[in-house]
Amino acid sequence: MQTQKTTNMQGSKEGLKIAKLEVKNKVYQEKNRYLSGKIRDITKSRVMWRDRFKALEIETKVLNKEVKQSIDLSVKAAHHSYPIAIIFIALSIRQVSGLGWRKCCDILALIYEILGVDLSVPCANTLSNWQSKYGLYELEKDLESGDKVLILDESVRVGQNKVLLLQGVGLAQYEFEQSLCSKDTAVLSINIQKSWKGEQVGKVIKDLSVKQDIVYAVCDGGNNLIKGLKDNNIDRVYDITHAIGAIVKNSYSKTEAFLSFSKETTKFKQKVVMGKNAILMPPTQRPKARFLNISAVVKWADKTLSLLETSHLNEEQKQKLLWLKTHKDLIAELKEVDKLTRNIFAILKPNGLSNETVKQCKEKIKDSKAPDDFKEKIKQYFVQHQPLIEKHNKLICCSDIIESTFGKFKNRVAHNKMSSMAGACLEICSYGSILDAKTIQFAMEKNTNEQVTTWKDNNSADNLLKNRMRLYKKVA
């Protein structure tokens, strides 16, 4: 009996062991089937992606071949050694990137290498000459007749010179759906000298070949520009950006609260600019444009006040910013002023000044919490322009495009303010151009280097760089 019992126990242990092994075996079999399927799928996927890669590789080679064939290096402008395609690429690099001429040469050399072009890379001076020829072509080309809006301004002094720029907008082509951009304008005149008086501005306007097509003009509040337009009996629309900037200036520039806020903001920036709390630094503002660009400082002050109410700042930072709380009411008021200003801009800059947009602006003014005197001054702007609205139905009332043009221009001449600006001024004429090979070829053949040099000589005031070189040669 004892032996039989022992045998049964051993049998049950082995049976239990076998059952466990069978369960484990099933698990391994399932895992094996899963992994086998996975390997099969990966193998198929590998083959598929390898075939796709080979197909794309073949397609890439075909496209590269087509690109090389599309760059026709056989077409050249008369009296030019480089193909039109190379001139087109070089000018496009400059227009899109705004890089210096030497960097444009480096990029052109890289394109040569990628496309396998077997030519010498033109030097920076050659690229500059091409750009000047094209700019002179754009400046001198005939414009379509029809009603035009004149946009004019003079640049802030760069070196010893000031640039008077006149741009035209063809009303037949422009649609009031978005703010003006470079492609909507054409350069009518560029003039360079040390200063511009009203009589001189008036003479430039009088000499315009399209003067008879000008129906009105848009500019800032410069007295010389206003006089020049008045001498030619041209209606003037006051640029809305400068108009509201002037209203803000008149409202706050002499108030004790604003002067104190500006002074403490500057002082705070000077304290933290090089320290560990530079992250709290207020934005930089140019003194001359402080009231035109007040939005950045207002946003900084408002957000910084909100930060003071949170735990995101340490105690040291909070102590340094406590002065802001004393200006809390002014900041809240300026925030409402900025909000209303941006709402007005959003309506008028893309849609123009008309009875409909004035109505929309007045609704925004009604809902605004900005000071009443500020709102009344904006309404007065509409009253002043009502006769022109009745006369022309819809008015372009923003000259931001010319400010943008000057900003781009100043960036490109900033590296050497002693040099002549004439070449850079010719480049302004091509800022909004859509380049194409045929036009470039015509421009290269129409204008010679001598013609470009003559234009530069006639439109250059004293060149500090040349005068400096002449002076130092005496002791070489």
Tell me the per-residue pLDDT of 211-243, one tens digit each, with 9 for 90 and over. 999 999 999 989 999 999 999 999 999 999 999
The range of the structural domain enclosing residue 44 comes to 8-70
Quick one: 183 and 313 in the same domain?
no
Q: Where are the beta strands (DSSP E) in 315-371?
A: 353-354
Asked if the model's pLDDT at residue 5 lies above 80, the reply is no
pLDDT band at 158 (very low <50, low <70, confident <90, very high): low
Question: CA torsion angle for 413, 418, 419, 422 (degrees, to 10)?
Answer: 70
Quick one: 212 and 312 in the same domain?
no
Quick one: 113 and 222 in the same domain?
yes
Helix (H) or strand (E) holding 417: none
129 belongs to a structural domain = yes
Quick one: 36 and 100 in the same domain?
no
179 belongs to a structural domain = yes
Asked if the model's pLDDT at residue 98 lies above 90, the reply is no
Q: What is the pLDDT of residue 288?
A: 57
Quick one: 262 and 233 in the same domain?
no
Top pLDDT among 107 and 253 is at 107
**Across 44-58, 195-209, 351-365, 373-387, least confident range:** 44-58
Of 70, 85, 116, which marks where a domain is finished?
Answer: 70
Asked if the model's pLDDT at residue 380 lies above 90, the reply is yes
Of 39, 70, 101, which marks where a domain is finished?
Answer: 70
Residues 420, 260 contacting (CB under 8 angstroms):
no
**Across 165-174, 331-340, 427-436, least confident range:** 427-436
402 belongs to a structural domain = no
146 belongs to a structural domain = yes
408 belongs to a structural domain = no
Main-chain dihedrals φ then ψ at residue 211, nearest 5 degrees = -55, -35
Give the rounded percent of residues in the chain with a pLDDT score beyond 70. Answer: 91
**Across 26-30, 283-287, 365-369, least confident range:** 283-287
Quick one: 151 and 114 in the same domain?
yes
Main-chain dihedrals φ then ψ at residue 83, nearest 5 degrees = -65, 155
Q: What is the pLDDT of residue 82?
A: 93
407 belongs to a structural domain = no
Give how many domains the chain has, as a whole number: 3
118 belongs to a structural domain = yes
Quick one: 377 and 435 in the same domain?
no
Neighbours of 30 (CB within 10 A): 10
Q: Rounded distance, CA 137 to CA 130, Å?
A: 11
Of 70, 87, 114, which marks where a domain is finished?
Answer: 70
Quick one: 234 and 85 in the same domain?
yes
pLDDT band at 207 (very low <50, low <70, confident <90, very high): very high
318 burial level (CB within 10 Å; 0-12, 13-18, 19+):
middle
Query: 292 Cβ partners below 8 Å, 6+ apart?
Result: 241, 242, 245
322 belongs to a structural domain = yes
Quick one: 322 and 386 in the same domain?
yes
Quick one: 208 and 150 in the same domain?
yes
Residues 190, 425 contacting (CB under 8 angstroms):
yes
Q: What is the pLDDT of residue 352?
A: 93
Smallest Cα–Cα separation from 427: which of 143, 163, 205, 195?
Answer: 163
Asked if the model's pLDDT at residue 461 lies above 80, the reply is no
Quick one: 65 and 13 in the same domain?
yes
